[in-house]
Amino acid sequence: MEKSLFPCLVRDFGAQGFKVIQRVHKAWEGPLRKDKELRGIRNGIIGGYHEWLKVHTRGLDWLSKLKIINEENFEAPEEDEEVRPLKTELGKARIAKEKFNLVAIDVRKECVELREENAATARALEQETKRTRKEEHGRDKFRGALWGSNSELKLRREERDQSRAHSMVLKKELAACSRSKRNLS
């Protein structure tokens, strides 16, 4: 904005005046028109602008009472005895607020760090859980294979034992047959 636009000081206006100030402020927020845009072909001010100005300033009789204050001419009102302690309290409150904000920022950083650490721990735990499940699955497969092999070995032992028993029976019968053949001869 240009330096020619200075803040203005408005005193003793009611709710209606405040609404008008808000409307003026809102109008200033819109696009600003350059001086060349407001002039006609003969470098005179466009007539429609004066009409627009009259319409928009109608009912703003307090507008002329506004005093535009230059930064050099600005004089702060004298402080009352009631205002000084309040300003001191306000200063202390601002300092406390700043300290609180710094602590809050530190706490937020720590919270973010803890969340990141928690997420990393959760990922590591998940990977460890997957690895453990794979190992357990491998152990279960191995146990199943061992059980199957053990069952097979048991069956083979039983067959062997039966075969040995049968073989001993056959040997005894053969020996008995041989004796009986010798006795007969």
Q: For residue range 23-49, list pLDDT tens digits in order.
A: 776 776 665 555 555 555 555 555 566
Percent of the chain whose pLDDT exceeds 70 = 65
Clarify whether residues 67 and 93 are in a common domain. Answer: no
Percent of the chain whose pLDDT exceeds 90 = 42
**The domain boundary residue, chosen from 50, 76, 102:** 76
46, 39 contact by CB (below 8 A): yes
Clarify whether residues 111 and 32 are in a common domain. Answer: no
Clarify whether residues 94 and 184 are in a common domain. Answer: yes
113: tokens are 């760090």
Separation of alpha carbons 82 and 59, rounded Å: 37
Q: Which domain holds residue 169?
A: 85-185
Most confident of 35-39, 51-55, 75-79, 93-97: 93-97
Residues in contact with 42: Cβ distance below 8 Å, sequence separation at least 6, in sequence order = none
Separation of alpha carbons 97 and 64, rounded Å: 40
